[in-house]
Amino acid sequence: MEWHLVCCVLACTLVSTQVYGQEQEKIVLSLPDASGQPGKNLTLDVAQLAKIVLPSPHETRVIGGHVTTNTKLGGYLTALLYEDDFVCGGTLLNENIVLTAAHCFLGRMKASEWIVAAGISNLNQKGIRRHVKDFILSEQFREDDMNMDVAVVLLKTPLKAKNIGTLSLCSVTLKPGAELVVSGWGMTAPRGRGPHNLLRTVTVPIIHKKNCRAAYQPTAKITDSMICAAVLGRKDACTFDSGGPLVFKKQVCGIVSFGIGCASSRYPGVYTDVMYVKPFIEKSIKALLAKR
């Protein structure tokens, strides 16, 4: 526990060292001995430490993907804005319904503040916008471990236009190694600042659940509602890609949910398993459409 704390403080020190541009070379820590009295000094080499705590230069590259356009993808990707700020990606399932992640709504529960923008590739574009009428988060969504990170959104008015497409819900159980496409306006470096204006896409293979569980052990629990995908150390989704689809043959099979770091060499990206949460999605679509 204390070791974690020390790591945390060191990581923060490193980041702030970078942020404030002070080129510190050594950090001297004064460690208390067992009785709590000042003990010996520990001198840490910042460059050495950075190699351990910070992502490798490899990882700070674009997270393995390339710039694309929404039309090229199939026009199914939407940007979800709250109080005019971009928050998450989403998938158009039909002209009235968008699929996204439940965690996008944490602290953002007012339906009237949400807007869905479709047909955009650059976040500066206005695209075709719709207000949100209502949304349903899974009752089993747990903030502490991201179990059942899924939400279904009902648009105020139907969204249909040239270049706008939809995806169907996953109907295949994905095997490890299956290659899927994830896209979004997420960060292209693990410690980037915010979303990117340009849409990016990357192909990532499904990672064996057993391996994913083991990798995240004991930090995070990989529950039944999750699947993992990434090329470790090279290709992954990242912050602000959340809610966007992991696509297999025009089907949405995953929803970007979480990860420790991005394109980490240890931790794969974690997605909501659409096959697993399909009953919830179908039930919610019915309930929302009945409300119109």
Residues with a catalytic annotation lie at 103, 149, 242
Residue nearest to ligand ARG (CB): 259
Nearer of residues 241 and 273 to ligand ARG, judged by Cβ: 241
Angstrom distance (rounded) from CA 272 to CA 261: 17
CB of 150 to ligand ARG, least distance (A): 13
- DSSP single-letter state for residue 47: H
Task: Give 54: exposed, middle or buried? Use CB within 10 Å, 0-12, 13-18, 19+.
Answer: middle
Omega before 245 within 30 of 0, i.e. cis: no
The answer to the question of residue 141 lying near ligand ARG (CB under 6 A) is no
- What is the identity of the amino acid at 213? R
- What is the identity of the amino acid at 187? M
The answer to the question of residue 254 lying near ligand ARG (CB under 6 A) is no
User: Pattern of binders to ligand ARG over 177-216, x per CB under 6 A?
Assistant: ---------x------------------------------
Number of residues that bind ligand ARG (CB under 6 A): 13
Angle of helix 46-53 relative to helix 2-19, nearest 10 degrees, comes to 110
Of the residues 114, 216, 248, 258, which one makes contact with ligand ARG according to CB under 6 A:
258
Of the residues 102, 180, 222, 237, which one makes contact with ligand ARG according to CB under 6 A:
237
Cα angle for residues 70, 73, 77 (degrees, 5° grid) = 55
Angstrom distance (rounded) from CA 109 to CA 112: 9
The answer to the question of residue 256 lying near ligand ARG (CB under 6 A) is yes
Of the residues 199, 241, 246, 280, which one makes contact with ligand ARG according to CB under 6 A:
241
Residue 86 bridge partners (DSSP) = 81
CB of 25 to ligand ARG, least distance (A): 31
Nearer of residues 96 and 200 to ligand ARG, judged by Cβ: 200
- What is the identity of the amino acid at 200? R
Nearer of residues 58 and 160 to ligand ARG, judged by Cβ: 58
- DSSP single-letter state for residue 194: S
Q: In this chain, which stretch among 8-16, 53-61, 70-78, 256-264 interacts with ligand ARG, using CB under 6 A?
A: 256-264
Residue from 202, 272, 257, 240 nearest 88 by CA? 240
The answer to the question of residue 238 lying near ligand ARG (CB under 6 A) is yes
The answer to the question of residue 78 lying near ligand ARG (CB under 6 A) is no
Residue 138 and residue 150 in contact, taking contact as beta carbons nearer than 8 Å: yes
Q: Which of residues 94-133 bind ligand ARG (CB under 6 A)?
A: none
The per-residue DSSP string of 137-183 comes to E-TT-BTTTTBT--EEEEESS----TT----EEP-SPPPTT-EEEEE
CB of 27 to ligand ARG, least distance (A): 28
Residue 85 and residue 185 in contact, taking contact as beta carbons nearer than 8 Å: no
Of the residues 49, 77, 262, 288, which one makes contact with ligand ARG according to CB under 6 A:
262
Residue 200 bridge partners (DSSP) = 67, 184
CB of 199 to ligand ARG, least distance (A): 14
Q: Kindly list the residues in this chain that would bind ligand ARG in the complex (CB under 6 A).
A: 186, 236-242, 256, 258-259, 262, 269
